[in-house]
């Protein structure tokens, strides 16, 4: 009786050992969800409206500027990244600048105001600051409308991250690496809507 019991246990142990021998591969489990695509930490601001501009004069030509303080533009970004600045120049007559139009700085507007003249808007990013600059080729304007709006998009050079910015009004674009590279290489030739679409950020 004891021999039978021992023999039965030995048979069960042998079968268990054979069924679970080292090296066996179990069936494949279901595929997990796809992880987020890696992308640079693309940061964009809300539209902002300068309340006032500073007038300055260089070589007899005066202009105006507005400094937008921001920690999103670092020295590395200014040196090797991309800062794209857009404008809604709503202080002009709608025949010169339609209310729905968005342009990428620099912008030159030529129109007739007694004589033919050109206004030039440009942006100069530096560490911790974005300067919006204005100059008229006839020194015509003595003040600037406070209706103009601006917005920037920052793509730091050589940085990859999927972490969204926690600052109010700023988020991280979720565009694919291919789309971001295309924007960096060709943004000057892209429309505002196309840049926003490729970087997957809202237009407003």
* Mean pLDDT for back-to-back runs of 10 residues, the chain (204 residues): 40 38 54 41 94 88 94 92 97 95 97 94 97 95 95 78 36 62 91 94 92
pTM (predicted TM-score): 0.72
Q: What is the pLDDT of residue 30?
A: 56
Q: What would the DSSP string read from start to end of 46-110?
A: PPB--S--EEEEETTEEEEEEEEE-TTS-HHHHHHSEEEEEEE-TTS-TTTS-TT--EESSEEEE
Number of domains in the chain: 1
Q: What is the pLDDT of residue 112?
A: 93
Q: Does residue 140 belong to any structural domain of this protein?
A: yes
Q: What is the pLDDT of residue 1?
A: 43
**Domain hosting residue 155, numbered range:** 43-199
Q: What is the pLDDT of residue 34?
A: 40
Q: Does residue 48 belong to any structural domain of this protein?
A: yes
Q: Which residues partner with 84 through β-bridges?
A: 153
Q: Does residue 13 belong to any structural domain of this protein?
A: no
Q: Does residue 141 belong to any structural domain of this protein?
A: yes
């Amino acid at each position: 009786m004891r021999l039978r019991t021992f023999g039965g246990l030995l048979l069960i142990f042998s079968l268990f050992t054979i069924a679970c021998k080292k090296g066996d591969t179990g069936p494949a489990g279901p595929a997990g969800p796809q992880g987020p695509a890696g992308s640079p930490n693309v940061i964009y601001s809300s539209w902002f409206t300068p309340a006032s501009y500073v007038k300055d004069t260089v070589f007899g030509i005066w202009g105006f500027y507005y400094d937008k303080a921001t920690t999103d533009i670092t020295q590395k970004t200014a040196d090797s990244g991309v800062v794209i600045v857009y404008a809604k120049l709503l202080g002009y007559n709608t025949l010169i600048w339609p209310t729905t139009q968005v342009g990428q700085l620099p912008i030159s507007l030529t129109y007739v105001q007694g004589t033919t003249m050109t206004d030039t808007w440009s942006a100069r990013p530096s560490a911790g600051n974005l300067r919006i600059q204005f100059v008229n080729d006839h020194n015509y304007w003595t003040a600037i409308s406070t209706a103009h709006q601006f917005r920037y998009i920052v793509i730091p050079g050589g940085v990859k991250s999927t972490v969204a910015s926690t600052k109010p009004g700023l988020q991280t674009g979720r565009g694919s690496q291919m789309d971001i590279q295309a924007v960096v290489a060709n943004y000057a030739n892209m429309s505002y809507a196309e840049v926003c679409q490729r970087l997957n950020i809202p237009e407003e």
